Chain A
Amino acid sequence: MAIKGLEIRDISATRYAALGISKVPRMTKLIDLSTCIGCKACEVACMEWNDLPMDETYRAAGGYQTIPDLAHNFWNLIKFNEVDNGNGLLWTMAKHQCMHCENPGCLRACPAPGAIVQYTNGIVDFVQENCIGCQFCVTGCPFNVPRISPKNQKVYKCTLCSDRVAAGLEPACIKACPTGCLQFGTKEQLLEYGRHRVRELRSRGFKDAAIYDPPGVMGTHVIYVVPYGNHPEVYGLPADPRIPALVSLWKGPLKTIGSTIMLGGVTAALLHYLTYGPMEVKPDTDVKKQR
């Protein structure tokens, strides 16, 4: 299926995949946390476009958040964080969804061939048909995004509307955003726009304003403009996200060591057979009687 931009760039647990060769723009979403008003239009647009069934809403004590967390049928959440910074309350609401990492931990951890793919346009997508429901991706994700469905035991998350992007449209959340807080474009364009926003914020007194594009996962295809850039944790963003060391170890050196041991075992068995021959069953043993 060669749709431009949706050629496979990386794929889980598959050694010989037909990887795409075309060079297409790397698409990115920018979230300007200084202009988000927490209206939840992105949440609704996401659910509407993806035909996700609605759950009951809840009302947290004193807060504006009506859905507690991301879910298998809820891929885009605005967290209404409230932080006391010493001289007052900071209302640091922030949109959360899959970050579409350049080096995705979920894909690194996934053992199911073709269940997680990274397209040439940068989107990381789950292919539920190939998912085996092991939830290794949940362990591998530094941002705690994948959610398993109790209905079919498959994991789900934001697709960055790969269907819309492949057809030349922008993701549903970005189209809906009424304040222009969400922007869509190539990574280069949005980094430039982000730097412009950071300069503006700094001139208005947010001296720590910064772009959130964590190098621990080689950058992401969802970047943030953060007014308090020295403390991304107040927005619920991890300060230095990395793929868990256990996942890297187990998918890297341990895999080679394990394969070597297994191959050694098979070779040893073969050598044993050649040296000593097959086991001889004496007629007086009770194997026959048992059958």
Chain B
Amino acid sequence: MEFTRRSFLKLSASGALLTGLGFDVTPAIAHARQLKIARTTETRSTCPYCSVSCGVIIHTLGDNSYNVRPTVVHVEGDPDHPINGGTLCPKGASLKHCIVNDRRLTKPLYRAPGASHWDEVSWDFVINEIARHVKETRDRIFVQKDLQGKTVNRAEGIAMIGGCTDTSEMNFLMVKVARAFGMVYFDQQSRL
């Protein structure tokens, strides 16, 4: 179609008429931001960073149905937690990026003595290796009697530390293990 001055005027006039007849050309103003955690699954947990052990709530997408692979979309402080009452420090506030992160470790890594790189290894290998080192060290440094000849059964060459995010039950078992080995140097923070 040839676009003449006359047809342009006709088009403009009909456009103006349509607008006048109530076809609103201004954009709709209805607007509200959706709450991104409205239907997420809430899971309580403990911040893994420092020994303050703030309570956090982890929000995952989906309702935990069988067919849903959960994705963490938000982490915020647990308002019912007696330690932090919902607050968090900048490290705690960024916990989502601790979980959803390409650089997160998901497999044990092993650096052989003298090596300059880390190898991916199996859990079986790691547990056997730790057990072997503990056994060898204990056999080498075990003190059965002290200088006065008293029986002490001490393993002074090994120390054990329980972390702040371990539960009381786990720390209880750790103490049992430490005592059974004869360890003297161990500490834990059982309060969760």
Chain A interface residues (CB < 8 Å from chain B): 1, 3, 6, 8, 11, 14, 17-18, 39-41, 43-45, 48-49, 51, 113-114, 117, 125, 127, 129-130, 159, 162-164, 166-167, 169, 172, 175-178, 180
Q: Mark B59-89, 1 if CB is under 8 A from A, else 0.
A: 0000000000000001111010000101111
* Binary contact track B125-161/A, C-beta < 8 Å → 1, others 0: 0000000000000000000000000000000000000
B127, chain A: closest CB distance, angstroms: 35
Q: Report B-chain residues with C-beta under 8 Å of the C-beta of A41.
A: 87-90, 92-93
Q: Give the CA-CA distance A165 to B148 in the complex, in Å.
A: 72
Bound Cα distance from A172 to B27, whole angstroms: 30
Q: Which residue of A lies closest to B84 (CB)?
A: A178
Taking a contact as CB atoms closer than 8 A, the residue among A43, A127, A167, A175 that contacts B31 in the complex is: A127
Does residue B36 face the partner (Cβ distance < 8 Å to A)? yes
Residues on A with beta carbons closer than 8 Å to the beta carbon of B38: 167
19 CB contacts below 8 A, A to B, read A1-B30, A8-B29, A14-B26, A40-B90, A41-B88, A41-B92, A45-B93, A48-B74, A51-B36, A113-B26, A114-B29, A114-B31, A129-B27, A159-B33, A163-B36, A169-B35, A176-B88, A176-B92, A178-B87
CA distance A12 to B84 in the complex (A): 41
Q: Closest Cβ of chain B: how far from A19's Cβ, in Å? A: 10
Question: Is B34's CB within 8 Å of the partner chain A?
Answer: yes
At the interface, is chain B mostly helix, strand, loop or mixed? loop
Chain B: residues with CB nearer than 8 A to chain A?
26-36, 38, 74-77, 79, 84, 86-90, 92-94, 96-97
Bound complex: CA A39 to CA B26 (Å)? 44
A127 and B97 alpha carbons, distance in the complex (Å): 28
User: How long is the Cα–Cα vector from A51 to B96 in the complex, in angstroms?
Assistant: 10
Residues in A with CB closer than 8 Å to B90 are 39-41, 43-44
Residue of chain B at shortest CB distance from A45: B93
Contacting residue for B35 out of A40, A114, A125, A163, CB 8 A: A163
Q: Give min CB distance, A170 to chain B, whole Å.
A: 9
B99 to chain A, nearest CB (A): 12
How far apart are the CA atoms of A164 and B86 in the complex, in Å? Answer: 15
Once the chains bind, are A175 and B86 in contact (CB under 8 Å)? yes
Q: Is A167 touching B35 in the complex (CB atoms < 8 A)?
A: yes
Are A163 and B93 in contact, CB atoms less than 8 angstroms apart? Answer: no
A114-B26, A159-B33 given; 7 more Cβ-contact pairs under 8 Å = A6-B32, A44-B93, A163-B33, A163-B34, A166-B32, A175-B77, A178-B88
The residue in chain A whose Cβ has the minimal distance to the Cβ of B86 is: A175
Rounded to whole angstroms, the CA-CA distance of A166 and B38 in the bound complex is: 12
A3 adjacent to B29 (CB under 8 Å): no
Q: Which residues of B contact A164 (CB under 8 A)?
A: 35
Cβ contact within 8 Å between A129 and B74:
no
A176 touches B87 (CB 8 A): yes
Q: Least Cβ distance of B75 to chain A in Å? A: 7
Choose one: A44, A117, A177, A180; the contact of B29 (CB below 8 Å). A117
Question: Which residue of chain B has the shortest Cβ distance to A182 in the bound complex?
Answer: B87
Kindly list chain A residues whose C-beta atoms are within 8 Å of the C-beta of B84: 178
Q: Given the complex of chains A and B, what is the CA–CA distance between A39 and B93 in angstroms?
A: 11
